Structure 1
Amino acid sequence: MKLSGHTIFITGGGSGIGRGLAEALHKRGNKVIIAGRRRSHLDAVIAANPGMEAIELDITDPASIERTAATLIAEHPELDVLINNAGIMQPDTVAGKIDDALLTATITTNLLGPIRMTSALIEHLKRKENAVVAYTSSVLAFVPMAVTGIYSSTKAALHSYVLSQRFMLRGTGVRVLEIAPPWVRTELMNSQEAEQAMPLDQFIAETITVLGTDADEILVDAAKLFRANVGPNEHDFVNNFNNQALALFAA
């Protein structure tokens, strides 16, 4: 991905990885618009980064997503990059009775939200050259953490969706990327002070470096061991399987 000259929309841009990506890409000469539910966080980010803009968005609300997409297309017709970053992570009890509110909120935020957001913008993005749709998943998509089983499952589902969407958009100008962070010092699970977690600034710096390559999966070194767990040749297998399925359905 070219690291400058884009107009970029980032969900969950008020803190953590979203803010880090927004600021790093803003410094490289991109027009960056961030979104989130907490207006105070958004205001703090744009105050610290003159020229950046913010939109309030409830990623769990389909109507809010549609309004945001319409606003973006109207006010920023040059928009060509979407980074689906918003997400929540809470401990759960997969060995017992699941709290339904936690279950619903996690799936709606982490899986339905990015799918809906991309759906609302994809036809616009198809009309752009060198457009990008990126999703922040997690290494837990490949190696689940049992104490956050629901979160891990949403990230695994998101990874699967990325593979399908990348295949189906292969003949367009839209690239589909997956950013799969390891444990990073963010607000998720109160990890800001966790010594074992990767410092946020280090993660952002390494991620931006990989983002500037032709890689479809944006992996820092600390994430690669987890990604390798699923075995070799996953992409070739997925692509071959889908090519055969398309041929079968077309017959």
Structure 2
Amino acid sequence: MKTTGNTIFITGGTSGIGLGLARELRDLGNTVIVSGRRKDLLDRIAAEDGLGTVELDVAAPASIQAAYDTVTTRYPETNVLVTMAGIMRSEDLRDPGHLAAAEQTVAINLLGTIRAITAFTPFLLGRPDAAIVTVSSGLAFTPLAATPTYSATKAAVHSYTESLRFQLAGTGVQVIELVPPAVRTALLEGREPDPQWMPLQEFLTESVQLLTDQPDAREILVERVGFLRYAEREGRFQQTFAALNSH
């Protein structure tokens, strides 16, 4: 993926990694459009950051279609889709009440990703230098037991991305998977960021540098995510799983 001269649409880019990445890509010389459900927040981002904004609820198929229509009409040069939208909830699997959180997590993290890709792929097939960037997690490879559905949806996003890349091979649409470790954002509802998590700016800087240095990359893996990403491959899954879930 080239890192300048693109028109990039990011689902869920109003906070955390999404907004940070939008700013970094803007500063590289790209036109960047972010989306979210809160119009007041979008208006503030447009005014303060000079980013394009589109209202979008990725859990609602009609909203995805409306956002697609808006983006491709207002920004016909769009050539990159980044599926950043996601939520992370703790769940007690002994309590049947966890199901509502699980269903919402699947609707946003997995179905939202699939529906956004489905909407934009035909359009991107006709664009030069096109790319789709999915966002999984180190927890796709070594799950956090306290957030079981989040970890499961990210494992599904990884698998879906592999199949998407295979099916789009030779079409000119590059498929890249961004795999964050634990980053100091407010993603995990009800919990303050842990000081041991990777600082957001450090993650953004390393990720953008990897994108720049590896234009043909399949996965963007900062050094700190290797502990989780390669646990099974390196024969240390059980030890890594135990260490991750001992806190």
Q: Which runs of 5+ in 1 are unaligned?
A: 233-251
Paired residue for 1:236? none
> Is 1:43 paired with 2:43?
yes
Q: Contact 2:124 / 2:173 at 8 angstroms: preserved in 1? A: yes
> Is 1:15 paired with 2:15?
yes
Question: How many residues are treated as equivalent by the alignment?
Answer: 231
Paired residue for 2:80? 81
- Please give the alpha-carbon distance, in whole angstroms, between the structure 1 residues aligned to 2:49 and 2:187: 23
Q: Contact 1:184 / 1:191 at 8 angstroms: preserved in 2? A: no
Superposition deviation, residue 93 in structure 1? 1.6
- Please give the alpha-carbon distance, in whole angstroms, between the structure 2 residues aligned to 1:192 and 1:14: 18
Q: Contact 1:86 / 1:109 at 8 angstroms: preserved in 2? A: yes
- Please give the alpha-carbon distance, in whole angstroms, between the structure 2 residues aligned to 1:193 and 1:153: 21
- Please give the alpha-carbon distance, in whole angstroms, between the structure 1 residues aligned to 2:229 and 2:27: 30
> Is 1:5 paired with 2:5?
yes
> Is 1:165 paired with 2:164?
yes
Paired residue for 1:226? 228
> Which piece of structure 1 moves more, 204-213 or 109-118?
204-213
Q: Contact 2:138 / 2:229 at 8 angstroms: preserved in 1? A: yes
Superposition deviation, residue 95 in structure 1? 4.1
User: Any idea what SS the aligned residue of 2:10 has?
Assistant: strand
Q: Which runs of 5+ in 2 are unaligned?
A: 235-247
- Please give the alpha-carbon distance, in whole angstroms, between the structure 2 residues aligned to 1:165 and 1:107: 19
Paired residue for 1:201? 201
Superposition deviation, residue 141 in structure 1? 0.2
What whole-Å deviation, never above 9, does each CA across 1:82-110 have from its counterpart, x for those lacking one?
Answer: 00000000100234425222111100000
User: Any idea what SS the aligned residue of 2:114 has?
Assistant: helix
What whole-Å deviation, never above 9, does each CA across 1:136-170 have from its counterpart, x for those lacking one?
Answer: 11000000000100100000011000000000101
Which structure shows the bigger proportion of residues in helix conformation? Answer: 1
Percent identity (aligned): 44
| Equivalent position amino acid for 1:58 in 2 | D
User: Any idea what SS the aligned residue of 2:29 has?
Assistant: coil
TM-score where L is the length of structure 1: 0.88
TM-score where L is the length of structure 2: 0.90
- Please give the alpha-carbon distance, in whole angstroms, between the structure 1 residues aligned to 2:154 and 2:97: 18
Superposition deviation, residue 132 in structure 1? 0.6
- Please give the alpha-carbon distance, in whole angstroms, between the structure 2 residues aligned to 1:218 and 1:72: 26
Paired residue for 1:31? 31
Superposed, 1:1-251 pairs within 5 Å as 1-50=1-50, 52-189=51-188, 193-212=193-212, 213=214, 214-231=216-233
What whole-Å deviation, never above 9, does each CA across 1:13-42 have from its counterpart, x for those lacking one?
Answer: 110000001000011110111001122322
| Equivalent position amino acid for 2:179 in 1 | A
What whole-Å deviation, never above 9, does each CA across 1:158-202 have from its counterpart, x for those lacking one?
Answer: 100000000010111001111110000111125654211111111
Q: Contact 1:10 / 1:33 at 8 angstroms: preserved in 2? A: yes
| Equivalent position amino acid for 2:69 in 1 | A
Q: Contact 1:7 / 1:32 at 8 angstroms: preserved in 2? A: yes
RMSD: 1.4
